[in-house]
A and B are shown apart, each in its own frame.
Chain A
Amino acid sequence: MNPYKILNIDYRADKRGIIEAVALAMRERKFSVQEVAIAQKELLNPIDRAAHDFLQFVDVKPLQEQLILSKPQEQTVFDLNRLSIFDENS
């Protein structure tokens, strides 16, 4: 169960944002009342929330930042001329 998905919020959501999201989720009825309640409970508990913060999101930024993005080696590109070697009667 991903409480962030159930409440349709991102990891920056504060307490107020969570409560608002709960009300909306209850109205939308996409998830059961129990699921919404558990999601709320877990996100309002700092330990559970920290665990979910670790599990539910991936941070690829550090992986991207360590990459050195260089321009590919320049090669003299000649114009392409059609080859006739593969023509049926060649």
Chain B
Amino acid sequence: MKKKNKSFESILARAEKLFDKENYLLAKKEFEKAEKLEKQNNITEKLKICKQEIEKLKVKDLIKKARKHTKKKKLRNALECFEEAYKISKEDSIRERIEALNRILRDSDIEKAARNAETAGQYLKAAELYEKAFASSKQDAHLLKRALCLVKAEKYKDAVSVFKDMNFSDTCSLYNYGFALAKVGQHYKCLKTWDDITAKDNDFLEQKEIVRSILAKDIYNRFTSAEDFVRLYKEGKYLLDSTGRQDLAELVEYCKYAWIKELWTDEQYETIWELVFDFPATVEPALIALYAKTCFKLAQSSGTRLTDLAMFWLTAVYNSELSGKFSSEAKEREIIRQKLIRMAEAVIKQDINSKDKTAQLALTYWDIDKKLIKYIVALTKDRKEMFHLVCTPRFANLFGKSAQILRLIKKNKNFFENTEHYLMTGCYYSSAWQSMYHLETGQYKKAFDSLPEVIDEDEFATYGMLKVKFFCGLYCLEIGDRQLKQCFDALPALFDISSDYEKKLIEKAIESYELDELNRYEEILNIIHIKRPSKEIKNALSLVMSRRAIQMYNKNQVNDKTLNMILQKALALNPKNEHARVSLDDSKIELKIIALDKAISKYKMNKACKIAVESKSEKVRSCFFEFMDYNIKALYEMNAEYEEKLFFLKDSYKWCAIVDKSHPMLYELNEMIRHLEVK
């Protein structure tokens, strides 16, 4: 083993080497040895640095240890390490850590004490301790525990004041908050809080039921002392909705109307509408008035509820009980009614030019309803027991009056101008009412889709169905939608009710000129012709057929023969179809000319002559002579033999004479022959 050099220089050199390698612990030892041998300022300085560096390392080590302890939740051990480190370094950051740890340990002690108090049943003490813990930790958990302890200590008011400002969703807090609320008499709030608890524990459900009973009793007691109706309504409605108990229903209804009165004064019409929107099965005049006026105010102020306004307003102003209050004089009553009608109409019309189509739609509804209600008024005239039936169709449907009104209409069929008038009026009160409104507003698809599934023997709904199908059919014909071809299946029945529909369809068919359109009309007219042949339909079909054939011919979609065939068919349907007749004549001429051309090109002159002679058309004969003229002139100019030319000219003369003995061409030919013979 190599012996260490104990000379001053070698010790110092070793110390310096260790110092440079930052091994301050060993460097310090060597410097101390060297200093014992010889005191030097340089060594003292180095020793100082070594001591400082060693301390730094120690602090670092202690902090590392403290962190490890913290991780393992050994907060006290961590605190010891930090304290030791702070003794050495006096660093602020370490001091802050020590303070924080002390706080946590203190809180933990308070919490522990609180828990112990809670376990021991000293809830008030526990609540106080949790409050202290919260003051330091600012953790909501401590506050919730405090509230819970207050409930356990039966300090319900204090518990409520703690819970009310907090956000929580755990079942324990929800239950205890609700319980405290119930204990301080806030039963409605208690139930609302407990509604967030999903647990279905029997004891809990029983307790909830108890609170409901207390609330019901409480609502009644407060009601008799004429308390806040809004609150009573809300609480009562909640009970009705959540339990279905009906013993409070009328009381809640009473409060609702009391609230509505307040809302009316405050012009809160939206809220009123929400309250009355749940329409009852039967409706009293006062309620009709309320609906009508609320709709009027909403329509006036915000342009909403326009179609509802039409439904309720007309029903209200024609209601005998309500209008009876307008005036005791019938004449004056009517004037006031008309004034009210004009007022509502002006409201509907105020937005008529806006982009939103609702006003236009409402006006159409209004016009329909205005017309219909007058018929019902006339039908019930002087029959007091029937007055309650005076209403618009949508109102009748909503409140179950439609069947009675339909019976009234049926009984008074003679009142109406004609069958269609009778059916149309009844139709709006039938199950097809919705389709009819859509139809009148031009919503064909909606009208078709909303047709009632079952119509049975109902003449009014059947009429509605036929009418909707007819107009949907016309619409489809116009836009080229072939999907709704079934619209025309039952149509002949509508034509039996009124020939106006047949006329309308024919008018539309006659107005069509485009090939696609003609195709569609021909198809539909054919269907109708098969099911219900009438002279008018036949004539229309004949015209559409000939028009379509010509269009197709012009587009080279059919040849002469087919064209001829179709035109003959069209003429068979209507021999007076001038369009078909003229077209057919033209077509025949065309065919003759083609045959003539064919015969001449094959030099079958006898056949050509025969065609020209038999054809009564000047055009065919002209064609024949044009051809002859061209050929004769061409031959005459040719350098052919004299005899050959003469032979051909004589032949030509013969053929031309067969066709027309007095044709000027014969003189010309004669001249040519004579000229050649003289030569």
Spell out A's residues near B (CB within 8 Å).
46-48, 50-51, 54-55, 57-64, 66-75, 77-78, 80, 82-83, 85-88
Could you say which residues of chain A place their CB within 8 Å of the CB of B284? 62-63, 66
CB pair B336 A82 closer than 8 Å: no
Does B254 lie at the interface of the complex (its beta carbon under 8 Å from any beta carbon of A)?
yes
Q: Which residues of B (198-244) have their CB < 8 Å from a CB of A? A: 199, 201, 203-204, 207, 210-211, 213-214, 216-217, 219-220, 223
Q: A47-B339, A55-B293, A83-B207 are in contact. Are A60 and B257 (CB under 8 A)?
A: yes
Judge whether B286 and A59 touch: CB under 8 Å: yes
The one of A50, A54, A58, A83 in contact with B203, judged by C-beta atoms closer than 8 angstroms, is: A83
B172 CB to nearest A CB, Å? 5
Contacts A/B (CB < 8 Å), 8 sampled: A51-B326, A54-B326, A67-B250, A69-B254, A70-B247, A77-B213, A80-B211, A83-B204
Contacts of B260 in A (CB 8 A): 58, 60
A67-B250, A69-B250, A75-B213 known; A86-B258 Cβ under 8 A:
no
> Chain A's nearest CB lies how many Å from the CB of B261?
5
Distance (Å) between the CB of A58 and the closest chain B CB? 5
Question: If the complex has contacts A80-B179, A82-B176, are A58 and B293 also in contact, measured as CB distance less than 8 A?
Answer: yes
A87 proximity list for chain B (CB < 8 A): 148, 172
- Whether B171 and A54, one on each chain, are in contact in the complex, defined by CB atoms closer than 8 angstroms, is no
Q: Determine the distance from Cα of A77 to Cα of B248 in the docked complex, in whole angstroms.
A: 17
B327 contacts A72, C-beta separation under 8 Å? no
The interface size bin for chain B is 35 or more
Are the C-beta atoms of B247 and A73 separated by less than 8 Å?
yes
Q: Could you tell me if A70 and B286 are in contact, using CB atoms closer than 8 angstroms?
A: no
Count of A-B residue pairs with CB < 8 Å: 122
Q: Are the C-beta atoms of B327 and A58 separated by less than 8 Å?
A: no
Q: Once bound together, how far apart are the Cα atoms of A78 and B209, in whole Å? A: 11
Beta-carbon nearest neighbor of A73 in chain B? B247
Chain A residues, Cβ within 8 Å of B175 = 83, 86
Tell me, in angstroms, the Cα distance from A77 to B207 when the chains sit together: 10
Min CB–CB distance B260 → chain A (angstroms) = 6
Chain B: minimal CB distance from A61 (Å): 8
In chain B, what residue has the closest Cβ to A79?
Answer: B210
Instruction: Give complex CA distance A68, B254 in Å.
Output: 9
Q: For A66, what are the chain B residues with a Cβ–Cβ distance below 8 Å?
A: 284
Chain A min CB distance to B275 (Å)? 11
7 smallest beta-carbon distances between A and B, as pairs: A60-B257, A62-B286, A86-B175, A72-B216, A75-B213, A67-B250, A72-B247
Distance in angstroms between the alpha carbons of A61 and B285 in the assembled complex:
12
Max chain B CB contacts within 10 Å: which of A54, A71, A85? A54
Q: Is B296 an interface residue (CB 8 A)?
A: yes
Task: Say whether B251 faces chain A, with CB atoms less than 8 Å apart.
Answer: yes
User: Which residues of the partner chain A approach B151 to less than 8 Å between Cβ atoms?
Assistant: 82
A79 to chain B, nearest CB (A): 9
In the assembled complex, the CB of A65 is this many whole angstroms from the nearest CB of chain B, namely 9
